[in-house]
Structure 1
Amino acid sequence: MRAVFYIASHSTDGSRPGIKEIAENINSPEHFLAKILQKLSKGGIVSSIKGPHGGFFIESQGLHRPLADIITCLEGDDIFTGCGMGLSYCSESNPCPLHHEFKKVRNQLTHMLYNTTIGEFNGELLAGALTLNK
C-alpha cells in the first residue's frame, strides 16, 4: 500500500521512481519491494518502464481505482469475506467466537477500501501533511 501511494503521488507530475527510491522513501527492503511491485504490475495496478529513464508509475485512470484492488491483487479477497480466526467453516449458521464482532469491523474495512481511491491522498502526501516513512 505504501509503495502504491508513493508511486501514485509521483505519477501526477510524470515522475517514474525506481525501486531503490521507493524502498528508501517507504522504509522497505528492495528485494521484498521488487516482489510486491512485480505482482502489482502483473495485476495492472502499477506500470513500469525499463531503462535509464524508467521506473514505476500509475496511469491517470488507475488513480481512481479503489484501494481494495491493491489488496485483492496481493492477497486475494479473503479479507472481505473471511473469518477473523481463519477458520474455513465459520459462517452465520456456524460462527466462531469472533464472528459477530469481526464481521462489523470487516464490513467497515471493506467499505473504506472500496470507497477510497489510490490517488486520494496525493495532495496531502506531496504537501507533507501525510507520511509514508518515519
Structure 2
Amino acid sequence: MLLSKSCIYGLRASLYLASRSSEDYIPIRKMSDDLEISFHFLTKILQQLTANNLLESFKGPNGGVRLKRSGEEITFMDIVIAIDGPALFTECALGLPGCGVEKPCPFHEQWAETRDKIKQMMESTSISDLAIKGMEENLRLTAKGGFEKFFDLE
C-alpha cells in the first residue's frame, strides 16, 4: 500500500466533506459513524488536516469540521502531503538511502517513472472531482456502500 491508513481515512473524510454543503460544519462523531472509522483516530487525522489549513473546525453543540476552501481548490495531493508528507515522491521504493540517477537501485528507473505519473494524477485531481464522480456513479466510500448511504441516492 502506497498510502498510510491515516492518509486513506483523511482522503475518505475529505471526499465526504466535499460532497456536502461547504457552509455546514459536520460533527466528527457523525463522520466517524458514517465512514466506519474510529472516532479518536479520525479526530487525530482531522487535526492534521486542520493544522495544514485544509479544514476548519468549530467547537460547541453545533460544532464540527468543514473544508477551509472549496473542494475544487484542494487536490488529492494536498491531502496526501498534509498527512503522509512528501516521502512517497522523494524516497527510494526499496528504502535505500542516496538512491538516485547517480546511484540507482534496481527498481529506480521504473519507480521514478511511475511515481511521476502518480504525482501528476494527484496534483491534477481535486477532491470535488472525486466526490462528484462518487455521487454521480454511487461509488463506494465505505466497506458497506457508496454515497447513497449518506444521501439516500437512488
Q: Same fold by TM-score, threshold 0.5 exceeded? A: yes
- What root-mean-square deviation, in Å, do the aligned CA atoms of Structure 1 and Structure 2 show? 1.7
Among 64, 67, 84, which residue is 2:76 paired with? 67
Report deviation, 1:74. Answer: 1.1
- The 1:57–1:49 alpha-carbon spacing in structure 2 relative to 1, beyond 3 Å, is same
Among 98, 105, 110, which residue is 2:107 paired with? 98
Mapping of residues 21-60 of structure 1, within 5 Å: 21-60=30-69
Report deviation, 1:82. Answer: 1.6
TM-score by length of 1: 0.88
Fraction of identical pairs, as percent: 31
Report deviation, 1:25. Answer: 2.1
TM-score by length of 2: 0.78
3-state SS, counterpart of residue 19 of structure 2: helix
Determine which structure has greater relative contact order: mean sequence separation of CA pairs < 8 Å that are 6+ residues apart, divided by chain length. Answer: 1
Unaligned runs of 5+ in 1: none
Task: Give CA-to-partner distance per residue, 1:40-81, whole Å, 9 cap, x none.
Answer: 001011111111111111144353222111111112111122
Q: What's the counterpart of residue 7 of structure 1?
A: 17
**Structure 1: 4+ residue segments shifted above 4 A:** none
Unaligned runs of 5+ in 2: 1-10, 144-154
Give the count of matched residue pairs. 133
